[in-house]
Structure 1
Amino acid sequence: MGVIKAVCTSNIKGIQKTEQATIKLKPDWGIEGDAHAAPWHRQVSLLSYEQIEAFKDRGADVDNGAFGENIIVEGFDLKNLPIGTRLACNDVVLELTQIGKKCHAHCAIYHRMGDCIMPREGIFCKVLAGGTISPGDIIEIA
């Protein structure tokens, strides 16, 4: 069992996301108002709270959403979950479709710190069942 620490969106790709009070997810689409919402396999991105905190311990000054992540989760080693894992939070069901990503153009965090955790620690999911998610909600492997 894990806990949602933050939810973030941006209506433009390639920039930091902004923390929100709640997000609404639509099946086969993603998060309403987020630039990555589309009928594809990377509708929602998740990043481990523990990995963000470890990065901060190395001297990074980053806010929630800085890595382009939509959902920050405490309690799971996300990158070690197998493809196809389903995560449930409230009425929302996500299916893990990709672990990590190629970083084609290094982000501002990489240029400042010489590293970015999203390409190796982040996971991507598609939305199987929609609903809302807010910080403090419980998330479980379905």
Structure 2
Amino acid sequence: MAKVLAVNISEKKGVPKEPIEKGYFEVDHGLVGDAHAGKWHRQVSLLGQESIDKTKLIEVEGFCVGKFAENLTTEGIILYELPIGTRLKIGETLMEVTQIGKECHLGCAIRELVGDCVMPREGIFTKVITPGWIKPGDEIEIV
């Protein structure tokens, strides 16, 4: 079963996100209160624990979810293999995959910490189709 491990948020771009108890995701916006939210195709970022496990961050003391600046940390689904246009029911929401990976910006906090960032290769981005709440433990279902 695929599920959400964490919902993560940050007030500014270019920094790791912090986990929150639950998040509200708005149509044409993304996670309310998150710096990356807005009316564009990369409203919500997702990264699988499977991808995080491939990095050297496992050895970094104090490392936890959100450090790749992902809004949703997931488990049990290989996100980067999903075709663009795939719809995912996550918690109360419905999202559509809009992009696989991204170009890492200069000064990436993760790259500076360990010399590598997996988000550009294996993270995905979605737009919100149906709004609602998402919390850790919510199931992720391919629609």
What is the CA–CA distance in structure 2 between the aligned matches of 1:74 and 1:47, rounded to whole Å?
9
Deviations 1:59-109 (A, max 9, x none): 344221101000011011101100000000232001000000001314122
Gaps of 5+ in 1: none
Residue 16 (structure 1) aligns with: 16
What is the CA–CA distance in structure 2 between the aligned matches of 1:2 and 1:9, rounded to whole Å?
21
TM-score normalised by the chain length of structure 1: 0.93
Pair 1:126-2:127 in alignment: yes
Deviations 1:21-68 (A, max 9, x none): 000001111111011111100000000011112325763442211010
Pair 1:98-2:106 in alignment: no
The amino acid across from 2:10 in the alignment is S
The amino acid across from 1:8 in the alignment is N
TM-score normalised by the chain length of structure 2: 0.93
Residue 83 (structure 1) aligns with: 84
1-10 or 55-64, which moves further after superposition? Answer: 55-64
Deviations 1:109-138 (A, max 9, x none): 212322110110100000000000000111
What is the CA–CA distance in structure 1 between the aligned matches of 2:92 and 2:64, rounded to whole Å?
27
Gaps of 5+ in 2: none
What is the RMSD computed on CA atoms of the aligned residues?
1.4
The amino acid across from 2:32 in the alignment is E
What is the CA–CA distance in structure 2 between the aligned matches of 1:109 and 1:33, rounded to whole Å?
22
**Secondary structure at 1:19's aligned position in 2?**
strand
Residue 4 (structure 2) aligns with: 4
Query: Identity, % of aligned pairs?
Result: 49
What is the CA–CA distance in structure 1 between the aligned matches of 2:68 and 2:38, rounded to whole Å?
20
What is the CA–CA distance in structure 2 between the aligned matches of 1:78 and 1:88, rounded to whole Å?
13
State how many pairs are aligned. 142
Do the aligned partners of 2:57 and 2:114 also contact (CA within 8 Å) in 1?
no
What is the CA–CA distance in structure 1 between the aligned matches of 2:60 and 2:83, rounded to whole Å?
29
